[in-house]
Chains A and B, each alone.
Chain A
Amino acid sequence: MYNDILTYLPYKSSFLFIDNISALDKDGVTGDYTLRKDAFFYEDHFRNNPVTPGVIITEIMAQIGLVVLGIHLLISENGEAGLMDEGSFPLLTATDVSFFKMVLPGEKVIVTSKKQYFRFGKLKCLIEMRNGAAELIAKGIFSGIIKNAGIKNKAS
């Protein structure tokens, strides 16, 4: 387990979508999350018919696949000194995701991310999400930066 890295994440409880990190190295990461049945979005999405929103699926993939791997890479390069300070946060810069299966309340999802590159502060990965039966839920290309840690001439 590599759960020590979770202490570096900048999210609070209702928007933290990672339970465990089971594999982590410079080329990729695997982690899982079990959707809480009492999560805030199920009451409204949809009325009397709770289904995990695509944006939440995307967020789970980004938190495990980009943010955890990105923090790991920054620590590997620069030690903890290279990490985010109070004024910085991870920003998603592009996603291209396809969805194959619905995710219902209480389901466990497993996210695997493979690094395509990490250069000039930008991390780009191919990320897949599968369910407990290893069926594909979603797959896509994600990119992100950590604001304050990237190249100059960034959008602010």
Chain B
Amino acid sequence: MDRTTILTELKKVLAPYTENKEMLDGISEETDLVKDLKINSANLVDIIIDAESKYNIEIDLDSAEKMYKVGSCIDVIIDKMNLSA
């Protein structure tokens, strides 16, 4: 699965948690979930759990702490999918 596909899928995962729909449409790997998308920081945990069930992976605390930008979310998802493959 390539990064562009995951980025497109992440938009759907993030959609319930952001009020900023315009920004969501135009996200890039540099988009910051809290600063740009104005996601309630406690909801990052829900996003991680949603990503876990979508990709059938398990995300540990060290990886979770990296997931504040779209690009770093994609890094972690790819990393964990390779582990479980």
- Whether both chains belong to one complex is answered with yes
Q: Given A120-B61, A120-B64: A154 and B41 within 8 A (CB)?
A: yes
Contact with B along A115-156 (1 / 0, CB 8 A): 001011110100000000000000000011100001111110
- Chain B 57-85 interface 0/1 with A at a Cβ cutoff of 8 Å (1 = within): 00001001100100000000000000000
Which of B6-14, B20-28, B44-52 lies on the face that meets chain A? B44-52
Say whether B43 faces chain A, with CB atoms less than 8 Å apart.
yes
User: Is residue B1 contacting chain A, with contact meaning CB distance below 8 A?
Assistant: no
> Nearest Cβ in chain B — how far from A150, in angstroms?
8
Contacts of A121 in B (CB 8 A): 45
Identify A120's interface contact among B40, B48, B68, CB under 8 A. Answer: B48
Check A94/B40 contact, CB under 8 A, given A120-B61, A153-B68, A155-B34. Answer: yes
Is the pair A119, B45 in contact by a Cβ cutoff of 8 Å? yes
Say yes or no: A153 contacts B42, CB within 8 Å: no
What chain A residues lie within 8 Å of B42 (beta carbons)? 93-94, 122, 143-145, 150, 154
Task: Tell me the smallest distance from the CB of B18 to a CB of chain A, in Å.
Answer: 14
Nearest chain B CB to A137 CB, angstrom units? 26
Report the interface size class on chain A. Answer: 10 to 19
B45 touches A120 (CB 8 A): yes
Q: Nearest Cβ in chain A — how far from B10, in angstroms?
A: 17
Task: State the Cβ distance, A149 to closest chain B Cβ, in Å.
Answer: 12
Give bound CA distance, A152 to B34, whole Å: 12
Residues of chain A lying within 8 A (CB to CB) of residue B45: 117, 119-122, 124, 151
Q: A151 vs B48: C-alpha distance in the bound complex, in angstroms?
A: 12
Tell me the bound Cα distance from A143 to B42 in angstroms: 8
Give residues of chain A (8-43) contacting chain B, Cβ–Cβ below 8 Å.
none
Q: A117-B49, A119-B48 are in contact. List 12 more A-B contacts (CB 8 A).
A: A93-B43, A94-B40, A117-B45, A119-B45, A120-B45, A120-B48, A120-B61, A124-B46, A144-B42, A150-B42, A152-B65, A154-B41
Task: Name A's B-contacting residues (CB within 8 A).
Answer: 93-94, 117, 119-122, 124, 143-145, 150-155
